Amino acid sequence: MTEILSVSKVRQAEALGKNVLIRGWVRTKRDSKGFSFLELNDGSSFGNIQVIAQENLENYETEVKKLTAGSSIAVWGTVEKSPGAKQPTEVHATKIEIYGFAPDTYPLQKKRHTLEFLRTISHLRPRTNTFGAVARVRNRICASIHQFFQEEGFYYIHTPIITASDCEGAGEMFQVTTLNLQNLPLTDKGEPDYAQDFFGKPSFLTVSGQLAVENFACALGKVYTFGPTFRAENSNTSRHLAEFWMVEPEMAFFELPENMELVERFLKRIIGDVLRDCPEDMAFFNDHMDSEKTLVARLTKIVESTFQKCSYTQAISILEKADREFQFPVKWGIDLQSEHERYLTEVHFNGPVIVYDYPKDIKAFYMRLNDDGKTVRAMDVLVPGVGEIVGGSEREYRPEVLENRMLEMGLNPADYWWYLDLRRFGTVPHSGFGLGLERMVMLITSVQNIRDVIPFPRTPGSADF
Ligand code: ATP
Ligand code: MN
């Protein structure tokens, strides 16, 4: 009997002696006298399976010998013990069928390619070691996110992608319209006539599902939303995308300390799951992506240690005492820049740190005002190598205070009537946070550019593939 097995399964000692059918893409071929070695990969694991093709195969001279990197094939054969120390098994082919040859114009010939070059062939880069590993780890992280919240009694809520409310009140949104831009209908005042637009008013791609998911937290208790979010911020950095994925839990009755406790357990759980379930991919990142080759050790330390906590005011005083010049001068009230965040987490605390109680003027209107009247119950999680990975807060649940904050920040409370209703009818303390999925993948893989941890990156001036 022939079993159809993945490369990952065929590489295990349990497969020894089986008759199998495996299918995948040739990574390399090496010819010897009377036979050829093929390295076959199907994406199911980092490592390849070695296939031995003898010259007695019917199509050996006509096809097998012509196989090149990138060709797709099916191999029937038996799983045998491999004499090589690297892997326990190899497959001795009894039949090879070719789905498709790849001519030598295939861009992924056996040599090292830069990540920048691979970005120009984003459609083929999943077939490289690096991107295969990134895709598997990213998948494991997402599974972990759902497992964690499901086990903790959270409900998964699907918040809308198209929205007519700007969550941060900060602009930076992509507008969605069906108005004819070649011939824009105008009002008497000369402005676009949104009454004729699809929704009868301006609409946008969401920057966050938070406002929507808060409504469900204040009914179902513990909820989370997890989906794509969009920011038209023109920041061409290695940590910002125009389209990225965010997971946003929201918990009724949680105050800031419980929010912090949850985020710490959540991040540790994800890292622990990846270290346990993706050892081969993680060994690759450790040895080939991390300049110090200490990635696994650092992540293990994060799982085993307690996150440091420090108020924004304390953080400013640490930065003021730092023995270095920052490009952006430090004083109470500034928004922490990446260089500040990285000093705190990489130099001062040498590990993850949760910074809390930020000045109200640099944070969103919905964060709970502290009794000092100057700071809000915000918390950002900063991690080495990445900087901010999570932003969260306790939400303002007192209707008058919330309305005042909106007015202070130039927002029209009438636009948020439904959000204010939550506070008018049975208001409760509640909290939540947002984790940028890609920043988490960067932390776990040591990949330095956010464009290389998402399948098809969208950044200013670039939306290819
Ligand atoms: P930053 O200061 O790094 O721009 P932010 O303060 O704008 O982040 P939030 O609005 O708090 O971020 O969003 C929550 C999380 O979403 C961030 O902690 C980060 O992990 C992620 N995130 C925010 N903006 C982006 C982006 N443009 N690309 C990728 N991830 C992002
Ligand atoms: Mn931002």
Write out pLDDT tens, residues 362-400.
Answer: 999 999 999 999 999 999 999 999 999 999 999 999 999
Does pLDDT of 21 surpass 90?
A: yes
410 Cα–ligand 2 center, Å:
20
User: Which ligand is closest to the CA of 208, given by its number?
Assistant: 1
pLDDT per residue as tens digits for the range 308-357: 999 999 999 999 999 999 999 999 999 999 999 999 999 999 999 999 99
Report which residue type is found at 409.
M
- Our answer on whether the CB atom of 451 is closer than 6 Å to any ligand 1 atom is no
- Our answer on whether the CB atom of 363 is closer than 6 Å to any ligand 1 atom is no
Does pLDDT of 176 surpass 60?
A: yes
CA-nearest residue for atom 24, ligand 1, is 240
Report which residue type is found at 392.
G
User: What is the C-alpha separation between 405 and 396, in angstroms, rounded?
Assistant: 9
CB-based contacts of 412, cutoff 8 Å, min separation 6: 406
Are 148 and 269 in contact by the 8 Å Cβ rule? The answer is yes
- Our answer on whether the CB atom of 389 is closer than 6 Å to any ligand 1 atom is yes
- Our answer on whether the CB atom of 240 is closer than 6 Å to any ligand 1 atom is yes
Phi and psi (nearest 5°) for 317? -70, -35
Are 217 and 430 in contact by the 8 Å Cβ rule? The answer is yes
User: What is the C-alpha separation between 167 and 214, in angstroms, rounded?
Assistant: 12
Residue 44: what pLDDT? 98
240, 337, 452: which to mutate for ligand 1, most atoms within 8 A of CB? Answer: 240
User: What is the C-alpha separation between 230 and 167, in angstroms, rounded?
Assistant: 12
CB atoms within 10 A of CB 339: 16
Residue 164: what pLDDT? 82
Find the radius of gyration of the CA atoms of the chain. Answer: 27
- Report how far Cα 453 is from the mean position of its chain's Cα atoms: 7
pLDDT per residue as tens digits for the range 73-83: 999 999 999 99
Does pLDDT of 235 surpass 90?
A: no
Angle between the 129-151 and 279-288 helix axes, to the nearest 10 degrees?
Answer: 130
- Our answer on whether the CB atom of 388 is closer than 6 Å to any ligand 1 atom is yes
With bands split at pLDDT 50, 70 and 90, how would you rate the model's confidence at 102? very high
CA-nearest residue for atom 27, ligand 1, is 240
389 Cα–ligand 1 center, Å:
7
CA-nearest residue for atom 5, ligand 1, is 391
Q: What percent of the chain has pLDDT over 90?
A: 93
Residue 170: what pLDDT? 55
User: What is the C-alpha separation between 265 and 252, in angstroms, rounded?
Assistant: 18
With bands split at pLDDT 50, 70 and 90, how would you rate the model's confidence at 109? confident
Phi and psi (nearest 5°) for 203? -140, 160
Are 71 and 101 in contact by the 8 Å Cβ rule? The answer is yes
Q: Given the CA of residue 388, which atom of ligand 1 is nearest to it?
A: 18
Mean pLDDT estimate for the chain: 95
103 Cα–ligand 1 center, Å:
42
User: What is the C-alpha separation between 231 and 420, in angstroms, rounded?
Assistant: 25
- Our answer on whether the CB atom of 222 is closer than 6 Å to any ligand 1 atom is no
166, 229, 244: which to mutate for ligand 1, most atoms within 8 A of CB? Answer: 244
Structure tokens at 143: 């599974």
207 Cα–ligand 2 center, Å:
10
- The string over 376-392, giving b where at least 16 C-beta atoms fall within 10 Å of a residue's C-beta and e elsewhere, is bbbbbbbbbbbbbbbbb
Residue 465: what pLDDT? 93
Q: Given the CA of residue 440, which atom of ligand 1 is nearest to it?
A: 20
User: Which ligand is closest to the CA of 342, given by its number?
Assistant: 1
Residue 114: what pLDDT? 94
